Amino acid sequence: MSGLFDEAPPPAPPTPPGPGLFGDAPPGAAAAVTAAYRVLARKYRPTRFEDLIGQETMVRVLRNAFAQNRVAHAFMLTGVRGVGKTTTARIIARALNCTGPDGQGGPTADPCGECADCRAILADRHPDVMEMDAASRTGVDDVREIIEATRFRPLQARTKVFVIDEVHMLSRNAFNALLKTLEEPPPHVKFIFATTELRKVPITVLSRCQRFDLRRVPAADLAAHFARITGLEGFTAEPEALALIARAAEGSVRDGLSLLDQAIAEAPAGGRVGAASVAEMLGLADREMVFDLIEAVFAGRVSEMLAITARAHEFGADFATLLQDLLALIHTLSRLKTIPDLRDSSEFTEAERVRGTALAARLAIPVLARAWQMLLKGLAEVEQAPDARAAAEMVLIRLCHVADLPPPGELLQRLANAPAGAPAAPPLPPSGDGGGGARAVVGGGVVGARLPGSFREAVALVAAAREATLHAHLLHGVHLVRYAPPVIELRPEPDLPRDLAARFAAVLAEATGRRWTIALATAPGEPTLAEQGRSAEAARREAASRHPLIQAIMTAFPGARMEAVHTAGLDAYGLPAIGGDEAGPVFEPDDPGFDPAGDDAAGFSEEFDA
């Protein structure tokens, strides 16, 4: 079996000096030039703590630890791919072993990069800084090799550093073998672990390490970093192009640099990286096209929407990616709608700040939420469908046809306010627009600005004012003693808030334009509205269970149960509507001799769940 650290391959033969026989370049020169190129992710790998972007908290803690000589013996670095875990481990190794330009320095948070140890660690050839990939070496024998190596002092450096990448891949026995050494390592040994799956690391290992969570780098920081590197490479880039790359990197510096490398390769020498070429490279639809598409969808213009998808198909856009772009834009619009100050944020592109802000102002949050849910389900359809374009267009056609539908809450309110057999009522005017003041639905009717005629109507006004917590307290914890508008006497439960009476009076005053007095009494009072509703429900079930038809069904179908009793004329609290009578359940046919197994029951059996 090969050792933990295999020997380096022999050096390549030297290139012959001078020109070739015919005055051309010396043999092997072209190959040397090709081999000398390093990808951006390696060329611009950070070598100092200050070069790490987006990890300010970790850098501050490590700097203080070196300044106070309180460097831990083991570190656990966790985070998504490409945020700098292995890079940080190498910087720590250099900081521990740097001797300064004069060879007399000690551990420092600012390694010089000039001493022999710094140069060797930078070149990945230091004998005392050993890296192991736990993804390929997971066994207990590999860990025992590390434990054996800790017994010997460093060959060249001040401290032996063991860097184990993807440590979560180690087997259970390997972790157990490492525990004792990890808890009490020799003074000349440091361990640095890196993982993308922290939850797979045993807690016994985590408790012996100083943990740092490396965060995803914000898109704005990535874009600025990429702009600097693009300039150093002798290119320019459109801000929108860098924003697209930063967004596609999802917080990973390495992933973003790999994409930037590809984008620069597609640009002419010394030229400009354009947003259009980056979007094509990433398989993204043009950002303006996405805005055009979403505006056509929300306006219900099906033909325009289909024309845009046809153009996207011609450009080679992936339709699953197109729906993902729409989802991302819906999320952006929802954020702009919820927090208007974000329109000045640098994290958004110019199109998102201008067109996005205008579009968010026209759309309601329920409409955006409905579009999000439909697109989310549609994305799964597109990924499973044999024709992705057809599936995506069907999803968008559905969105176009629901664009002018009211939100679910408004639709329910219209239906509740409409009399039986009448068309849906027009939408209720918002408060403060001269539409008649506060309104609350009670028992199918509408309570306007007049004084509420009962305690139930007063509580319903609280619900209409969207005071959910106060409404819950009034529903479940308040007993009515006397109702004499504008005076209400109540007995609240002891655990209710002390300001309940003041809040209740304020809501009633706002809703009716009159001053109310809420008095607290000690008399028992009525049961709470919730208790009254439960009692009424129990009485309805009892009455229904005594009906001959129900008894016959229970006899004919052993094990059947009565799930619920639906009675017309009840309000939201399960009580008869104000000014109306409880209609009671209706059974047909009302015949004590009715046979549920006979022909008369043919159309009735579906009403009950056996």
Concatenating the DSSP letter of every residue in 514-551 gives S--EEEE--S--SPPHHHHHHHHHHHHHHHHHTSHHHH
SS3 content of the chain, % helix, strand, coil (to 5): 50, 10, 40
Q: Facing residues of 445 across strands?
A: 442
pLDDT band per the 50, 70, 90 thresholds, residue 389: very high
Phi, psi of 600 (to 5 degrees): -65, -20
- In this structure, are residues 146 and 175 in contact, taking their beta carbons and an 8 Å threshold? no
Report the half-sphere exposure of 292 (CA within 13 A, side-chain side): 14
Least Cα distance to 77 among 180, 179, 164 occurs for: 164
59 pLDDT above the threshold of 90: yes
Q: How far apart are CA 392 and CA 380, in angstroms?
A: 10
Average predicted confidence (pLDDT) for the chain: 80
172 pLDDT above the threshold of 50: yes
**Per-residue pLDDT, 22:** 43
Tens of pLDDT, residue by residue over 312-364, are 888 777 899 889 989 999 999 999 888 888 877 767 766 777 888 888 888 88
Phi, psi of 450 (to 5 degrees): -65, 165
**Per-residue pLDDT, 566:** 74
Tell which CATH classification among 1.20.272.10, 3.30.1490.190, 1.10.10.10, 3.40.50.720 matches the domain 287-401.
Answer: 1.20.272.10
Amino acid (one-letter) located at 76: M
Q: Per the confidence metrics, is the pTM higher than 0.95?
A: no
Tell which CATH classification among 1.25.40.10, 3.90.1300.10, 1.10.8.60, 2.60.120.10 matches the domain 219-282.
Answer: 1.10.8.60
**Per-residue pLDDT, 513:** 87
Cis peptide bond N-terminal to 485, omega within 30: no
Q: Which ranges of 385-449 does DSSP label H, i.e. alpha helix? A: 388-401, 408-417
Least Cα distance to 475 among 455, 489, 446 occurs for: 455
The label of the residue with tokens 């800084």 reads 129
User: Which residues, in sequence order, are CB contacts of 364 under 8 Å at separation 6+?
Assistant: 407
Tell which CATH classification among 3.40.50.300, 3.30.70.3040, 3.30.230.70, 3.60.21.10 matches the domain 40-213.
Answer: 3.40.50.300
**Per-residue pLDDT, 136:** 83
Q: Which ranges of 2-139 does DSSP label H, i.e. alpha helix? A: 29-36, 40-43, 56-67, 85-97, 116-122
Number of CB atoms found within 10 A of residue 511's CB: 25
- 468-477 helix and 529-545 helix, angle to the nearest 10 degrees: 60
Q: How far apart are CA 474 and CA 461, in angstroms?
A: 11
pLDDT band per the 50, 70, 90 thresholds, residue 87: very high
User: Which residues, in sequence order, are CB contacts of 392 under 8 Å at separation 6+?
Assistant: 309, 319, 320, 322, 323, 378, 382
Sign, CA torsion 35/36/41/42: positive
The label of the residue with tokens 């292995």 reads 86
- 302-314 helix and 388-401 helix, angle to the nearest 10 degrees: 160
Q: Domain map of the chain by residue range?
A: 40-213, 219-282, 287-401, 440-526, 542-607
Cα 314-316-322 angle, rounded to 5 deg: 105
**Per-residue pLDDT, 184:** 87
**Sheet containing 189-195, strands listed edge to edge, beginning at the edge strand earlier in sequence:** 129-133, 160-165, 189-195, 74-78, 210-213
17 pLDDT above the threshold of 70: no
Tens of pLDDT, residue by residue over 422-443, are 444 444 333 333 333 333 333 3
**Per-residue pLDDT, 550:** 81
Q: How far apart are CA 438 and CA 460, in angstroms?
A: 11
**Per-residue pLDDT, 63:** 93
DSSP string, 203-226: HHHHTTSEEEEPPPPPHHHHHHHH
Least Cα distance to 327 among 380, 274, 281 occurs for: 380
DSSP string, 46-81: --SGGG--S-HHHHHHHHHHHHTT---SEEEEE-ST
Whole-angstrom CA distances from 158 to 70, 76, 92, 123 are 16, 21, 13, 18
More confident: 355 or 372 = 372
β-pair type (445-447, 440-442): antiparallel
395 pLDDT above the threshold of 60: yes
Q: Which ranges of 339-401 does DSSP label H, i.e. alpha helix? A: 350-351, 357-362, 365-384, 388-401
What letter does residue 35 receive in the DSSP assignment?
A: H
225 pLDDT above the threshold of 50: yes
Tens of pLDDT, residue by residue over 515-525, are 999 988 889 99
Q: What is the CA radius of gyration of the chain?
A: 36
**Per-residue pLDDT, 73:** 92
64 pLDDT above the threshold of 90: yes
pLDDT band per the 50, 70, 90 thresholds, residue 413: low
- In this structure, are residues 399 and 368 in contact, taking their beta carbons and an 8 Å threshold? no
Q: How far apart are CA 431 and CA 507, in angstroms?
A: 14
228 pLDDT above the threshold of 90: yes
The SS3 assignment for 445 reads strand
Tens of pLDDT, residue by residue over 90-135, are 999 999 999 988 888 889 999 998 999 999 998 889 999 999 888 8
607 pLDDT above the threshold of 50: no
DSSP string, 144-162: HHHHHHTTSPPSSSSSEEE
More confident: 556 or 361 = 361
602 pLDDT above the threshold of 80: no
What letter does residue 354 receive in the DSSP assignment?
A: I
More confident: 137 or 219 = 219
Mean pLDDT across the stretch 506-535?
Answer: 89
Tens of pLDDT, residue by residue over 490-504, are 999 988 888 888 989
Whole-angstrom CA distances from 98 to 45, 111, 119, 120, 157 are 19, 6, 10, 11, 8
The per-residue b/e assignment along 341-354, b for 16 or more CB within 10 angstroms, e otherwise, is ebbeeebbbeebbe
**Per-residue pLDDT, 62:** 94
SS (H, E, C) 248-292: HHCCCHHHHHHHHHHHHHHCCCCCEECHHHHHHHHCCCCHHHHHH
pLDDT band per the 50, 70, 90 thresholds, residue 412: low
More confident: 64 or 366 = 64
583 pLDDT above the threshold of 80: no
589 pLDDT above the threshold of 70: no
Q: Residue 444 region, left (φ>0) first, then alpha (ψ -120 to 50), else beta?
A: left
Mean pLDDT across the stretch 263-269?
Answer: 83
Cα 127-132-135 angle, rounded to 5 deg: 170
Phi, psi of 446 (to 5 degrees): -120, 130
Whole-angstrom CA distances from 505 to 411, 454, 469 are 30, 15, 15
pLDDT band per the 50, 70, 90 thresholds, residue 5: very low
Q: How far apart are CA 544 and CA 276, in angstroms?
A: 69
Mean pLDDT across the stretch 365-380?
Answer: 91
CATH classification of 440-526 is 3.30.300, yes or no? yes
Q: Terminus-to-terminus CA distance in the chain, angstroms?
A: 69
